[in-house]
Amino acid sequence: MPRRMTESIEAQGEWLFRHRGGMGVIIVPCLAAALLWPGTPGNTLGDAMTDDITVLGMVVSIFGLVMRWLTVGYVPADTSGRNTREQRAATLNTDCAYSLVRHPLYLANGVVVMGLCVATGSLWFTLLALALYALAIERIVAAEERFLADLYGQAYVHWASQTPAFVPDFSRWRRPNLPLSGRTVLRREYNGVLGVALAFFVLEAVRDLLIERQSWSAWLDDDGIWLWALGLGALSFVVLRTIKRRTRWLHVRGR
């Protein structure tokens, strides 16, 4: 690839890295359209099957969250963070999840997105959302890999040349150098739990209450679990955010 094009992609990646927290806003209008006009196979699904694929989508998204937890729980401080202002990498992670793929967190995020796509029952939305995600992540990854190559030089080049970007190679598994830190997971990952709970609550509420015109009381009887999920997600967010900001209990030295 010509150097000028590579630099352009990396520049786009830097911009997307700083603004990646708002990337979901682009998907919202498409998601609304997918709920109104799901196309194949959503148009042919009955209520029971629609509920089943929504639950399946939630399971897939939770699996993506667990992938994030098992990555974040083993990394040292100032790596694999949610920072958006600048690239940070106090240590080059090469063990645990990073021995399988170079970008385990972006892979996990993709699984979370896939779960939401499954829940819509819309093939066109699934293809569009995953294509947009792949397009954005390709650029962010290009910028991150340039940053790491400049920072760690040959050590990074050697690891990257042997480790796939997104498709796990389980033959390369290396045991983590650090123990699993549950407190680190709680400190870093409560946002994702609320985000997934909110996304599925909105999806179900819009589809049942606004599109199918189901009454609020009937919806609570049939699908009250989504309100409970949102409540638990919101409660965990408030409690963990308060603990994080007002105490040092969730802070682990070196993590």
Of residues 120 and 12, more confidently modeled: 120
Between 247 and 7, the more confident residue is: 247
pLDDT at 2: 53
pLDDT (mean) for 178-182: 95
pLDDT for res 99:
97
CA distance 85 to 160: 24
pLDDT of residue 18 exceeding 80, the answer is: no
At 13 the pLDDT is 65
pLDDT (tens digit per residue) in 55-65: 999 999 999 99
- The per-residue pLDDT for 84 is 55
Cβ pair 192, 233 in contact under 8 A: no
Identify the residue whose tokens are 């609570």: 220
Quick one: which of 136, 131, 120, 123 has its CA closest to 31?
Answer: 120
Instruction: List pLDDT tens digits, range 142-169.
Output: 889 989 999 999 999 999 999 999 999 9
Q: What's the pTM value of the predicted model, to 2 decimals?
A: 0.90
Place of tokens 């997600």: 233
SS3 (DSSP) at 56: helix
Categorize the per-residue pLDDT at 79 as very low, low, confident or very high, splitting at 50, 70 and 90. confident
Greatest alpha-carbon pair distance for the chain in Å reads 62
Mean pLDDT, rounded, of the chain = 89
pLDDT of 240: 97
pLDDT score recorded for residue 178 = 94
Residue pair 117/125 in contact by the 8 Å Cβ criterion: yes
Render the burial of 98-127: b for 16+ CB within 10 Å, e for the rest: bbbbbbbbbbbbbbbbbbbbbbbbbebbbe
Cβ atoms of residues 35 and 211 within 8 Å: yes
78 falls in which pLDDT band (50, 70, 90)?
A: confident
Smallest CA-to-CA distance from 35 within 227, 202, 198 is with 202
pLDDT digits (tens, 9 = 90+) for 102-111: 999 999 999 9
pLDDT at 75: 93
Q: What's the pLDDT at 196? A: 96
pLDDT at 10: 67
Q: Which of 129, 112, 121, 122 is nearest to 51 (CA)?
A: 121
Helix, strand, coil tally for the chain in percent (to 5): 75, 0, 25
Secondary structure of 64-100 in HEC code, one letter for each residue? HHHHHHHHHCCCCCCCCCCCCCCCCCCCCCCCCHHHH
**pLDDT above 90 as % of the chain:** 63
Query: What pLDDT does residue 43 have?
Result: 76
